């Protein structure tokens, strides 16, 4: 940008910037035309008309000065004034009298003062349509009045009125066209944001050719993503289901052996847990419809369910009531995954809820060994097991708990962050969900 400081004052929305692009040229054009008109009409034309009057006033002054006496001068002044379409009055004018807003009055006073040597005073605000001029002659002061239209153009404001009126009408028409052109952009943004939260909003490409192409490209992209996700779920689900049968036969065969097969049965159970995890990871969350649900109640239910399972889980602070669009089963599964992970790797888990105007943050902390900061991104990847504090020697699993939770959070348009618990010293998991703006 040529002027970086202008960025602070520019509209942020596409609609605001488009409106600025539309209004600014019209406003600048009107200002330029107004200034040019004022210079040409108020200054140039008024100056020419004032010079004509100055010639008449000089002629009147010379004829009064050539009169034989004061009475003759008065008679001569009246005769010439009538001939010049002027009227003699008795009250003299001293100095220049005008309204502060009278633009043409400045030009009139300047030209008459320059062109009429014995001008004693001028009043361009004598009446709404009259101008008074006092002349200093050899026979005394003579004051004449004349029509203001002889010094400045008639109705000079009409051009400004027409210009502003037509400009306003054209802005209204342009605004309607602009709104219709930007409406498809808003619809596309809404559909894209909803798809990021796992919702499918109907979208029909409309508007200009480029907007129709963008809408069609988005629909094609959404369809490809949905097909790929469906294929992935079907593949993992199919493999997992196919492996259940041989595992069942192995378990049945082990039960018929008289020898000690506890180690083999443990391996079979571990394989069964892995298959269950694969099925959970491949489960189609998109089949659950979004509805207005109480997030606080879902958190409370998850805490009570964990407590019934024998885990030491407590609510930290009050769990507020927050109604917002959610998929309740998916959120319940998310909370169960994170809380159960914390309980397995530690001894106690704390759950809290912070609510703001634009978002909510669910914080789940445990007193386990935690995760090193450099492994935070790795921990959110599917089928990833970490060495060190949280390793597979302590708790069995396939590394899908946080990955499933992260998938659910992203499908709601939120984010999942890992950190160090300040209260318990273990892992801290923050689930941040955006709240819809009020209507």
Q: Determine the pLDDT at residue 364.
A: 92
Chosen domain end from 156, 173, 201? 156
Three-class SS of residue 417? strand
Asked if the structure places residue 220 within a domain, the reply is no
Cα–Cα separations (whole angstroms), residue 364 to 172, 302, 420 = 54, 12, 11
Residue 386 sits in which domain range? 289-434
For residue 69, give both structure tokens. 């006496």
In a domain, 233, yes or no: no
What are the pLDDT digits (tens) for 196-213?
A: 766 777 888 888 888 888
**pLDDT of 145 above 90:** yes
> Is the residue at 407 inside a domain?
yes
- The SS3 assignment for 363 reads strand
User: Residue 97 is encoded by which pair of tokens?
Assistant: 């009298």
Tell me the sheet residues that pair with 140: 137
Q: Which residues contact 227 (CB under 8 A, 6 or more apart)?
A: none
Question: So what's the pLDDT on residue 281?
Answer: 59
- pLDDT at residue number 192: 85
CATH code of the domain in which 30 resides: 3.30.450
Look at residue 13 and tell me whether its pLDDT is greater than 50: yes
Look at 104 and 386; give whichever has higher pLDDT: 104
Report how far residue 92's alpha carbon sits from residue 245's, in angstroms, rounded to the nearest whole number: 120
Confidence of residue 58 (pLDDT cuts 50, 70, 90): very high
In tens, the pLDDT along 422-434 reads 888 889 999 998 8
Is 166 within a domain? no
Sequence-distant (≥ 6) Cβ neighbours of residue 138 within 8 angstroms:
64, 65, 73
Pairing state between β 291-294 and 87-89 = unpaired
Domain end, chosen from 107, 137, 156, is at 156
Q: Identify the helix (H) or strand (E) that includes residue 350.
A: strand 349-355
pLDDT single digits (tens) 291-301? 888 999 999 99
Over residues 304-324, mean pLDDT: 88
What was the pLDDT predicted at 363?
A: 92
Locate 368 and state its tokens.
Answer: 């386990």
Q: Which residues of 26-43 are buried (b: 16+ CB within 10 A; e: fewer)?
A: eeeeeeeeeeeebeebbb
In percent, how much of the chain has pLDDT > 90?
16
Contact 384, 405 (CB under 8 A): no
Q: What is the pLDDT of residue 2?
A: 59
Query: What is the rounded average pLDDT of the residues 235-260?
Result: 75
The answer to whether residues 138 and 111 touch, using CB atoms and an 8 Å cutoff, is: no
The answer to whether residue 22 is domain-embedded is yes
Domain contains 366: yes
Higher pLDDT, 265 or 439: 265
Tell me how far apart the alpha carbons of residues 426 and 19 are, in angstroms, rounded to a whole number: 52
In a domain, 253, yes or no: no
Residue 142: C-alpha distances to residues 78, 81, 105, 425 (Å): 10, 11, 21, 102
pLDDT of residue 392: 46
Average pLDDT, the chain: 81
Whether 206 is covered by a domain: the verdict is no
pLDDT score at 253: 78
Q: How many residues in the chain?
A: 439
Cα–chain center distance at 377: 32
CATH code, 336: 3.30.565.10
DSSP 419: E
pLDDT score at 353: 92
Is there a contact between 151 and 108 (Cβ–Cβ < 8 Å)? Answer: yes
- Quote the pLDDT of residue 397: 54
Q: Which long-range contacts (CB under 8 A, 24 or more apart) does 374-379 make?
A: 376/418, 376/419, 379/418
| Number of separate domains in the chain | 2
Residue that is last in its domain, among 156, 177, 193: 156
Beta bridge partners of 324: 293
């Amino acid at each position: 940008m040529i002027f970086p400081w202008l960025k602070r004052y520019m509209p942020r929305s596409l609609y605001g910037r488009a409106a600025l692009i539309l209004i600014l040229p019209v406003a600048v054009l009107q200002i330029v035309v107004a200034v040019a008109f004022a210079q040409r009409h108020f200054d140039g034309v008024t100056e020419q008309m004032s010079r004509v009057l100055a010639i008449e006033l000089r002629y009147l002054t010379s004829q009064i000065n050539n009169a034989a006496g004061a009475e003759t001068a008065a008679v001569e002044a009246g005769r010439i004034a009538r001939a010049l379409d002027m009227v003699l009055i008795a009250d003299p004018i001293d100095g220049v009298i005008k309204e502060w807003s009278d633009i043409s009055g400045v030009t009139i006073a300047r030209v008459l003062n320059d062109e009429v040597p014995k001008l004693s005073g001028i009043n361009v605000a004598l009446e709404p349509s009259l101008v008074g001029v006092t002349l200093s002659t050899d026979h005394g002061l003579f004051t004449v009045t004349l029509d203001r239209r002889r010094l400045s153009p008639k109705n000079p404001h009409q051009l400004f009125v027409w210009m502003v009126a037509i400009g306003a009408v054209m802005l209204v028409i342009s605004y309607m066209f602009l709104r219709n052109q930007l409406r498809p952009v808003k619809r596309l943004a809404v559909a894209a944001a909803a798809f990021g939260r796992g919702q499918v909003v109907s979208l029909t490409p409309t508007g200009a050719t480029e907007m129709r192409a963008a809408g069609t490209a988005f629909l094609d992209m959404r369809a490809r993503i949905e097909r790929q996700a469906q294929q992935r779920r079907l593949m993992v689900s199919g493999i997992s289901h196919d492996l259940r049968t041989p595992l069942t036969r192995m378990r049945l065969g082990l039960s018929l052996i008289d020898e000690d097969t506890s180690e083999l049965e443990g391996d079979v159970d571990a394989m069964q847990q892995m298959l269950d995890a694969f099925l959970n990871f491949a489960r189609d969350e998109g089949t659950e419809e979004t509805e207005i649900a109480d997030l606080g109640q879902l958190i409370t239910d998850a805490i009570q369910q964990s407590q019934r399972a024998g885990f030491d889980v407590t609510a930290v602070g009050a769990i507020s009531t927050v109604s917002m669009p959610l998929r309740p089963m998916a959120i319940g599964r998310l909370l169960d995954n994170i809380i159960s992970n914390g309980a397995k790797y530690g001894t106690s888990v704390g759950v809290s809820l912070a609510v703001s105007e634009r978002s909510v943050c669910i914080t789940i902390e445990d007193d386990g060994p935690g995760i090193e900061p450099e492994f935070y991104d790795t921990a959110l990847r599917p089928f990833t097991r970490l060495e060190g504090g949280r390793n597979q020697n302590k708790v069995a699993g396939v590394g899908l708990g946080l990955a499933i939770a992260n998938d659910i959070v992203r499908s709601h348009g939120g984010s999942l962050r890992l950190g160090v618990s300040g209260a318990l010293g273990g892992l801290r998991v923050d689930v941040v969900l955006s709240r819809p703006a009020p209507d």
